[in-house]
Amino acid sequence: MGALRKAKVALWGEIPATKAEKKLLLKIDWFILSFCCLAYFCNYLDRSNINNAYVSGMKEDLNMSGNQITKISAIFTCGYIAGMIPNNIALLKFPPRIWFPFTILAWGLLTLGTFNVSSVEQIYVIRFFQGFFEASSFVGTHYILGSWYTESELAKRSGIFTASGLAGTLFSGILQSSIHKSMDGLRGIAGWRWLFIIDFLITLPVAVYGFICFPDTPETTKAFYLTAAEKKLAVERLPKKAETSLTWDIFKRVLGRWHFWMFSVLWAISGEVESFSTNNLFGLYLADMGRSVAVRNNYPMGVSAVGIVTTLIAALYVDLTKKHWHIGVWSAFIGILSSSLVLAYRPEPLVFVGYYIAGGIYAVQAAFFAWANVICHNDNEERAIVLASMNLLSNAVNAWWAIVFYSANFAPRFERGMWAMIGTSIALVAWTVAIRWFQRRDAGREMDKQRACEVAEE
């Protein structure tokens, strides 16, 4: 294999065998990845804006105190949990080209409504329903990606998708900083309120794009840009799987396999190792230290930038090696190191290093959801539920975990949270290795069955 070909395989997966497949892959990359990444970008933009607004004047305007910002996050998480499985089941019952854009439009309108709130209690209500509809984006997209891409293509696409969400977080900081500087007070509206208006205006076109162009799944697609031959090829290029349906025996199929139990707990653990960054602890640290609004919004962007780079590198590594579990061990190491640096507390440059390298933990998202997609590929309904249950359990834990360990009034040191981070990082190594053992055991059993069939045929 030449150097150029090796580079192409490393960057984008196995090169399609035919020109027809190459053309198909280009089309689905463009229409699926562009929509899913834009949607997730807006998802994180509309989700993280509350933290940027909080440190940019919302706290003072609404007379917020104590851990109310943490409660907002917890209530959003409750809505997110409530919507997780219903949204993924909806993707099995309704065309994704309708359901996805509908949920985007719904959470976009709720984002717009936030600009006019007059109390924190109103934000509580809005954020619950916003969380419910935003639940469709993350696990729903991983289900769709697993429906269209082969194993050698999947982790990279999952990595690009995850990176788009981190870009939304990064852009939210840039946007709020710019708005606070140039639009604060414009037409009598505070800068933090303008943030929600502008976020809605960014989100609306993405929903419209989805209604027009999203292609559903290979078996059901009616996309105008795919020929009949391409629709057939989209199904044939994927591994054969059993015929399954959404019937009552789904409970037996899901609960009777280790996939549901092990992957759900895996992501619950991973989510808390990730919570270093997802709870914007760096922003709260900077606010508590009395830094300016610009610093509070701009400095944490580096965490997202680190997350984008490490996510893409990890995705390339996984597609090349198929060793998803290595990323779990790596992320656990980063969790322990970053927590230790923040616990040290002084000198401050080391605290900054701790917060920034914690962005590398985001790499587990693409790796672990691609892993679950690969292992559950043979059963569409199980795959949809397992992916949803992973994020559901993670957010169910995070709903109270953030309050117990990362409440805003624990800033700037978050000592309790840092020790919890070290504990979950150690647990992540153990659980990742356990899943790898189950995967190898099942692969061995499958090989034994194939040999037995070959012997019987002889």
Question: Over the stretch 40-79, which tens digit does the pLDDT of each residue have?
Answer: 888 877 777 787 788 778 888 888 877 788 788 888 888 9
The 10s digit of each residue's pLDDT in 70-128 is: 788 888 888 988 888 888 888 888 898 999 999 999 999 999 998 888 888 999 999 99
Max Cα–Cα distance, the chain, nearest Å? 84
Residue 188 backbone zone (phi > 0: left; psi -120 to 50: alpha; other: beta): left
* Per-residue pLDDT band at 275 (split at 50, 70, 90): confident
pLDDT of amino acid 375: 92
The token pair at 345 is 């507390």
pLDDT of amino acid 195: 84
Alpha helices in 29-67 (DSSP H): 34-53, 59-61
Nearest 10 degrees: Cα torsion 151, 145, 139, 91: -130
Average pLDDT over residues 222-237: 91
pTM of the model: 0.76
Q: Are 142 and 37 in contact (CB under 8 A)?
A: no
What is the percent of the chain where pLDDT is above 90? 25
For the ranges 159-173, 218-232, 356-370, the lowest mean pLDDT is seen at 159-173
Q: Are 389 and 260 in contact (CB under 8 A)?
A: yes
Q: Among 131, 99, 114, which Cα is nearest to 35's? A: 99
Q: Are 177 and 54 in contact (CB under 8 A)?
A: no
Average pLDDT over residues 199-207: 92
- Cis preceding linkage at 347, omega within 30: yes
* Per-residue pLDDT band at 7 (split at 50, 70, 90): low
Q: Which residues contact 336 (CB under 8 A, 6 or more apart)?
A: 421, 422, 425, 426
Q: Is 46 exposed, middle or buried (0-12, 13-18, 19+ CB in 10 A)?
A: buried
Asked if the model's pLDDT at residue 402 lies above 80, the reply is no
Distance CA 139, CA 150 (A): 18
Average pLDDT over residues 332-356: 87
Quick one: CATH architecture of 18-236+249-457? Answer: Up-down Bundle (1.20)
What is the percent of the chain where pLDDT is above 70? 91
Asked if the model's pLDDT at residue 315 lies above 90, the reply is no
Tell me the average pLDDT of the chain. 84
Residue carrying the six token digits 């090349």: 320
Distance CA 98, CA 150 (A): 25
Give backbone dihedrals phi and psi of 291, rounded to 5 degrees, phi first.
-75, 160
Average pLDDT over residues 234-260: 80
